[in-house]
Amino acid sequence: MMTRDLLALGPMLITAGGAVVLLLALAVCRSHAFASAWSVLVLAAALAAIPMTWPGAPASGDLLNLLAIDSWALAFWGIIFGSALVVCLLGFEYFRPLAVQAEEFYVLVLLSATGAAVLAAADHFATVFLGLELLSVSLFALAAYRRDQAISIEAGIKYLVLAGTSSALLLFGLALLYFHTASLRLSGLAGPLLAGHPDTIALYAGIALVLVAMGFKLGLAPMHVWTPDVYQGSPAPVSALVGSVSKAGAMAFMVRLAGVTLTGTPGVRNGVFYGLLVLAIASMFTGNLLALRQPNIKRLLAYSSIAHMGYCLLAVLPMAAGAALDRQAVFYYMLAHAVSILGAFGCVCAASENGREAQHVEDYRGLAWRRPVLAGVFSLMLLSLAGIPLTAGFLGKFYVLASGVRNALWLPAVCLVINSGIGLFYYLRVLGTLYQREEAESPDQFATSTAPSALLQPSPQLLLTHLTLAALVVLLIYFGLMPALASLPM
């Protein structure tokens, strides 16, 4: 039993142990290259360990009261560790020219990936809380990582206050659920709910608080206010991490939660269903409408990710039916979103130089004429976010829409279609800017943004970033053409 437990935990143990070993290694001698290489190695090993544990361990022993290491969790571990790997690769050349000590970045990335992995597999209130805190505490340290910039500290503090509030609300909600059901297990929640306990205010308030807290984590509409600020203020690789790892872990847990509560008593089921429906529709419209006239590319991506989480909820809504198809739709959507958002922020990293991030859409004007390949990659990522065919984003959106139509969820499905149309506007606006020829040496151009043409010269030092982007493009096309991973049994 012991060895089987260890094997099941393998990928997570590798990242957790890797973080501790890296910390010790930093105590002995500091080396940015070593820290980066080590974390990439650790995450690659964790990824390689996932197929060995597939399709998850059968429930045995005390350990698996805490974690449900099933194929669902393992699939999301794939997204989480893969995204963290890409973030480490992007981080190396992002932090190299900066004056800040960059080694701890990798420790924090490993820890946040471990936290997201715990959250994705959590089946017990203790592990839910542990995973969420490990994820968010590392993230606010990461958001404020560029201490040389006021905006980064601001992002860290905003994330600290809002994430702290949301974890407290989550905990209180879990305590209320514990009070009502006498069980600390998430899957144990289904039993008492089904057994016809009288619904109390504690039950409703508990579920509502947990949903609100997870809405915070996912950046769903009324709780989205932190998202644009954190995306803008954090260093670009950290924004990529927030958009991929943190969202994947939270969404994996959200699906577990929905799966349990949507099979509860009629009162609970209706409450959760309509709650999620409102969140989904509100997120789609809020995200897309606020992105329409957004001049800052990082904020634009933040608003776009708010809308994307709203789209993804469409496939979470029918979770009561428990159809594997809906779960696969959520997984594929999160996979496609992770690849696209990592690629988009990777392009922001590649376009930035000497510590100054190319944040403004105007910085990208005429990028296609100066760095055509980078502009092409960026266009692909934006097209994938917009859901244009031949990209992963299209298939993800297609599966989610199919899931909505199959379950006759007409209202959110129609909202998704309308919002995809709205979304096209601002993605195409950025795309158009990329391909616009720069006005020849117009003087006001140089006055407004500090000489973008000089800053966006291709640089030979960004080899690793470019290779990473190339790999992401291959993945994007591969997932767009070959939906092999979409039919994983889960």
Residues at the contact surface with another protein, assessed by CB under 8 A? 2, 20, 23-24, 26-30, 101, 125-126, 129-130, 133, 136-137, 140-141, 144, 147, 150-151, 153-158, 160-161, 164-165, 167-169, 171-172, 174-176, 178-179, 182, 184, 202, 228-229, 232-233, 294-296, 299
Shortest Cβ distance from residue 470 to another protein (Å)?
32
Q: How far apart are CA 390 and CA 253, in angstroms?
A: 29
Q: In the complex with another protein, which residue's Cβ is closer, 18 or 404?
A: 18
SS3 of residue 220 by DSSP: coil
Q: How far apart are CA 341 and CA 258, in angstroms?
A: 25
Amino acid at 351: A
Strand partners, 122: 67
Amino acid at 360: H
Q: How far is CA 371 from the centre of its chain?
A: 28
Shortest Cβ distance from residue 150 to another protein (Å)?
5
Q: In the complex with another protein, which residue's Cβ is closer, 370 or 429?
A: 429
Shortest Cβ distance from residue 68 to another protein (Å)?
18
Q: How far is CA 84 from CA 75, 93, 117, 218, 242, in A?
A: 15, 15, 11, 17, 10
**405 token code pair:** 């139509």
Shortest Cβ distance from residue 243 to another protein (Å)?
17
Q: In the complex with another protein, which residue's Cβ is closer, 234 or 340?
A: 234
Shortest Cβ distance from residue 3 to another protein (Å)?
13
Instruction: From 382, 360, 373, select the one nearest 455 (Cα to Cα).
Output: 360
With beta carbons less than 8 A apart as the criterion, state whether 178 and 125 touch.
Answer: yes
Q: In the complex with another protein, which residue's Cβ is closer, 200 or 487?
A: 200
The half-sphere exposure of 301 on its side-chain side, counting CA atoms within 13 A, is 33
Q: In the complex with another protein, which residue's Cβ is closer, 9 or 89?
A: 9
**198 token code pair:** 């009288």
SS3 of residue 124 by DSSP: strand
Q: In the complex with another protein, which residue's Cβ is closer, 298 or 371?
A: 298
Q: How far apart are CA 349 and CA 462, in angstroms?
A: 9
Identify the residue whose tokens are 């089987």.
Answer: 4
Shortest Cβ distance from residue 165 to another protein (Å)?
6
Q: In the complex with another protein, which residue's Cβ is closer, 406 or 429?
A: 429
DSSP state of 189: G
Q: In the complex with another protein, which residue's Cβ is closer, 25 or 321?
A: 25
Shortest Cβ distance from residue 229 to another protein (Å)?
5
Q: How far apart are CA 274 and CA 270, in angstroms?
A: 6
With beta carbons less than 8 A apart as the criterion, state whether 211 and 244 touch.
Answer: no
Shortest Cβ distance from residue 205 to another protein (Å)?
8
